[in-house]
Amino acid sequence: MEHAQRWNWEEFGRLPRTRVHSDIHCVTRWSRYDNLWSGVSLRDVIAKAAPKPEARFAIIHAEHGFTTNLPLPELLADDVLLADQHDGEALTPEHGWPLRLVVPRRYFWKSAKWIRRIELVERDAPGFWERNGYHNEADPWREERFADW
């Protein structure tokens, strides 16, 4: 990144907010429709960091050493956000409080809970679930649940 960013909770709360309606799909074959998420657009956060041209992927770091990975273009979609509210209520600890990533077009394990840091990198690096048998792409419309290896 050209300009690494860091915010405390109060500073993060002053960033421009957005709301997104989306469905979520779990690898275990359940879905929940018409969720309302509130938070900060990840596209806006990444723009502030001014990624270097070679940045093609993101590694999302969460509590307890958990990681997930996504191609950078996926995170730049207008419905991807760092959410702190779901359906008008603050997230609960069980669901990622204080902050979770929401990536509607991927299976929900890619929407990591308890986000700590986002690292932009040149090469993809599979995260926790991907290293443990889950599909790297996680596209629910292609039913990419488990790795082929």
What is the per-residue pLDDT across 41-89, written as a single tens digit (0 to 9) for each? Answer: 999 999 999 999 999 999 999 999 999 999 999 999 999 999 999 999 9
Going 111 to 33 to 28 to 149, the CA torsion angle's sign is negative
Between CA 106 and CA 26 the distance in angstroms is 9
**pLDDT for residue 1 is more than 70:** no
What is the per-residue pLDDT across 89-105, written as a single tens digit (0 to 9) for each? Answer: 999 999 999 999 999 99
What is the per-residue pLDDT across 103-120, written as a single tens digit (0 to 9) for each? Answer: 999 999 999 999 999 999
Query: What band does 4 get if pLDDT is binned at 50, 70 and 90?
Result: confident
- Sheet holding 67-71: strands in order across? 67-71, 57-62, 115-121
Among residues 59, 52, 50, 48, the alpha carbon closest in space to that of 15 is found at 48
Amino acid symbol at 116: R
Contact between 121 and 93 under an 8 Å Cβ cutoff? The reply is no
What is the per-residue pLDDT across 6-44, written as a single tens digit (0 to 9) for each? Answer: 999 999 999 999 999 999 999 999 999 999 999 999 999
**Domains located in the chain, CATH noted:** 9-142 (3.90.420.10)
Query: Which pLDDT belongs to residue 145?
Result: 93
pTM (predicted TM-score): 0.92
Query: Which pLDDT belongs to residue 21?
Result: 97
